[in-house]
Structure 1
């Protein structure tokens, strides 16, 4: 008798951590679909800066996955500088919040309702950031705030719906070798920042992907609500 496949939706899957997560889920017992803004390479196109994008993505993912999603992994995020004196400071704040937090919240809501309607277990993994606890640069108030919101949302979901066998986990990477992090390291002096990481290097996307895969498929239910750090001991709690 064949095992029922686990159906997984991954956002921000075109590169970096998201792409590594999708690749880590390539197995006989998992079917994963991914999202990106432009929809290249078979991903679902969804621009989270647009109203209704999250719900449209959910519907398209359900269609691809035969009406059932078992795991949601929110990885899509925006990391752009927003200098304090910028004329468009509020616009930039709102854009980052919309993409990083509001779209994730919309998808979490849809996932919880979906799991409840099916009376089946489900899992949510939110990729947050070390910045949720440590903060970030003076140009990244919005990013840190959005990721702190994501962590708080994850804990709330875990506490509220454990009784329904709906589990929620947050992963908080430090610097990870993606396109966004490479640009940031270069702009702020990579050697100086690396000196602040006891491990002596930034994380690789595959490392974060392995944590996400574990949470999606293997983590025991008693772990729900856990926030998992992966920052080379640059910030320990």
Structure 2
């Protein structure tokens, strides 16, 4: 049976996506930054070697049968403009490493693996799903330059992968949620005025993890190949393109 690797499955969107894909009969290899269990591999993406270790172990667990990778793990930390130079730089580099560089590493390992894999009847070899953010297009708060830059980079990376490898049956999709009801977003909502921030969302509420998980599941299993390169917004119309 085929496997899907999802990063950041300890909570929120990643956990919901894992549950949704398992409900569809897929075997999911999860990931968390610490404390591995039977369903998840521990890898702290602040370590430059962690993504490679995660990929190697996932490949071993799956017997080489990974059909999709969901880049979902993320770090969302406030960084004041008035922080010390070294503190500001440390938070910038940690955020880009965890949110973007680790995703790039895993995407590279997956693409190279699929290039050496026989295509299925449909001509496909594998799918990448990148959980980016509305911030990739709209930007973010003054304390989150690094987060917006990382998510913008993820979208650009996704488009490049889609264009480069579609002819080889390697597909790429990106999802750009707005606020989602996770502990990470909850902390941000409180820091930005709580429910008053909802006035900026025409839908009148933040997204639920299960909603984003349903889009991930669609991209991983059901989206037609012609959709490769697509970026799917899910932000309650708080940013429309």
TM-score under structure 2 length normalisation: 0.95
Are 1:147 and 2:151 matched, yes or no?
Answer: yes
One of 16, 20, 27 as aligned partner of 1:20: 16
Query: Which shifted more, 184-193 or 91-100?
Result: 184-193
Match of 1:85 in 2: 82
SS in 2 for 1:201: coil
Shift of 1:162: 0.2
Match of 1:30 in 2: 26
Are 1:66 and 2:70 matched, yes or no?
Answer: no
Q: Deviations over 1:182-217 (max 9, x none)?
A: 111111112221000000000000000000000000
SS in 2 for 1:172: strand
Shift of 1:28: 6.2
SS in 1 for 2:116: helix
SS in 2 for 1:12: coil
Q: Give the Cα–Cα distance (whole angstroms) in 1 for the partners of residues 115 and 205 of structure 2.
A: 42
Aligned length: 233
Query: Which shifted more, 27-36 or 80-89?
Result: 27-36
SS in 2 for 1:195: helix
TM-score under structure 1 length normalisation: 0.96
SS in 2 for 1:129: coil
Instruction: Please list every run of 5 or more consecutive structure 1 residues that lacks an aligned counterpart in the other structure.
Output: none
C-alpha contact (below 8 Å) 2:2/2:62 kept by paired residues: no
Shift of 1:40: 4.3
Superposed CA RMSD in Å reads 1.0
Q: Give the Cα–Cα distance (whole angstroms) in 2 for the partners of residues 150 and 28 of structure 1.
A: 27
Match of 1:119 in 2: 118
